[in-house]
Amino acid sequence: MRRTDFCRRAGTALAAGVAGVPVGVVAQTPLQPLRIVTAPTEIPISMINAHDLGYFKDAGIDAQIIALNNGPAGIAAVLSGSADIGFTSSLSLVVAYDKGLPVTAVIGTDLHRSTNPVQGVLMASVSSPLHTGKDFNGKTVSVPGLGGTQNYAVRAWVDATGGDSSTVRFVEVPNSAVPAAIVEGRIDAGTTDVLTLHSTGSRGLREVTNVYNAIAPKFLTGVWYATAPWVDQHRDLTRTFITVFQRYSAWANSHPTDEVRFYSKQSGLSIDDLQTVPRAVFEPTLTLEALQPIIDVAYRYGAIKRRFPANELLSSASRASDHG
């Protein structure tokens, strides 16, 4: 053995012995447990892939990924203490906060941009006379969920383009079922996503507008959140989660083919279909400008009792992390 190698190994052993670790035993810092609730859409469910890629382990986190089918169930899990961080629509978080629940935003993503919209598509038949808001008075329009973001976006667009949204009859129809509901005459129009817009089932239909633009050209539609007391007690862990999500976001944006392959496996959607439509961009952010529009539209249509400034929703860890 060369003298330099011997000295290096001896020095390592001595340091371990001084620290109270038996010679020959390597001390390892235990991973911090973190229970994360995801939703079945692409951005939140990507945390499964972040886990498989070792990003959480690299950051010293033992992540338990809990996949749930809807936002309210996730909020219940976080509030009950059976999960630590969850993902939901920004509207759901705003409503929960308005009800007095101790929720706080950790990091936002799923940003709607008018230049690359992936949700909020309002569809009607090619032969339909529906073009502007005033044409929708008294009509039946579907949304994925009553009281959801697309519901209020339709109302905002109808009111902004000469109609009266209080006369519109809203019904719930899943995104993928909207084309058939229009063709069969069960609804006059419906909101959906770009994947459905470009599907074969949408032949004979057209996009009327993107109603999300009536809320704002850019706003936050999804957010990671926790309870305020939990964040106060786990500020470093919260910041570490933010760092992991930022790292995965950079990977997903620079490896779109791999990201599509992963999401196809999780969702059951075909790779070909996913690759032919505009893709959501992973954009970790939590600016007041991106969050305030959803608060304003929620207040305008009675989803919350008071209009409040967006900074009330920001966690202490988020304010300390400069990811503007």
* 108-131 pLDDT tens trace: 988 899 988 889 999 999 999 999
Question: Regarding predicted confidence, which is higher, 25 or 269?
Answer: 269
Query: pLDDT-based confidence at 277, cuts 50/70/90?
Result: confident
Q: Is the pLDDT of residue 82 over 70?
A: yes
Question: Regarding predicted confidence, which is higher, 72 or 248?
Answer: 248
Q: Is the pLDDT of residue 103 over 70?
A: yes
For residue 277, the 8-state DSSP code is S
Collapsing DSSP states into helix, strand and coil, what is residue 190? strand
Question: Regarding predicted confidence, which is higher, 66 or 29?
Answer: 66
Closest-CA residue to 141 (of 191, 183, 207): 191
Query: pLDDT-based confidence at 269, cuts 50/70/90?
Result: confident
Q: Which token pair is 46?
A: 């990507």
Model confidence pLDDT, tens digit, residues 154-188:
999 999 999 999 999 999 999 999 999 999 999 99
Model confidence pLDDT, tens digit, residues 228-237:
999 999 999 9
pLDDT for the residue numbered 43: 87
Q: According to the CATH classification, is domain 121-214 in 3.40.190.10?
A: yes
**Helix locations, 174-282, DSSP H:** 178-183, 194-197, 228-233, 235-254, 256-267, 271-275
Model confidence pLDDT, tens digit, residues 291-323:
999 999 999 999 999 999 999 998 665 555 544
Residue 102 φ then ψ, to 5°: -80, 50
Question: Regarding predicted confidence, which is higher, 320 or 208?
Answer: 208
Q: Once rounded to an integer, what is the mean pLDDT over residues 195-199?
A: 85
Cβ–Cβ < 8 Å for 85, 47: no
Render 145-187 in DSSP notation, one character per residue.
STTSHHHHHHHHHHHHTT--GGGPEEEE--GGGHHHHHHTTS-
Model confidence pLDDT, tens digit, residues 6-51:
344 433 333 333 344 444 444 567 899 999 999 888 888 999 999 9
Closest-CA residue to 260 (of 49, 65, 100): 49
Q: Once rounded to an integer, what is the mean pLDDT over residues 137-163?
A: 97
pLDDT for the residue numbered 72: 78
**CA-to-CA distance for 303 and 155, rounded, in angstroms?**
13
Query: pLDDT-based confidence at 2, cuts 50/70/90?
Result: very low
Closest-CA residue to 47 (of 195, 242, 231): 242
Residue type, 153: A
Q: Which residues contact 141 (CB under 8 A, 6 or more apart)?
A: 122, 154, 168, 169, 170, 171, 187, 188, 189, 190, 191
Cβ–Cβ < 8 Å for 194, 113: no
- The H or E element spanning position 141 is strand 140-143
CATH architecture of the domain with residue range 32-113+218-320: 3-Layer(aba) Sandwich (3.40)
Q: Is the pLDDT of residue 4 over 50?
A: no
Maximal C-alpha separation, the chain? 88
Q: Which residues contact 85 (CB under 8 A, 6 or more apart)?
A: 34, 35, 36, 37, 78, 106, 224, 225, 226, 238, 241
Mean pLDDT of the chain: 87
**Taking the domains of the chain in order of start, what are their residue ranges?**
32-113+218-320, 121-214
Residue 85 φ then ψ, to 5°: -130, 140
Common-topology check for domains 32-113+218-320 and 121-214: yes
pLDDT for the residue numbered 125: 96
Question: Regarding predicted confidence, which is higher, 203 or 32?
Answer: 32
Model confidence pLDDT, tens digit, residues 46-59:
999 999 999 999 99
pLDDT for the residue numbered 6: 32
Q: Is the pLDDT of residue 68 over 60?
A: yes
Query: Rounded to a whole number, what is the distance in angstroms from the first to the last CA of the chain?
Result: 53
pLDDT for the residue numbered 273: 79
- Strand-pairing partners, residue 189, are 141
Percent of the chain with pLDDT over 90: 67
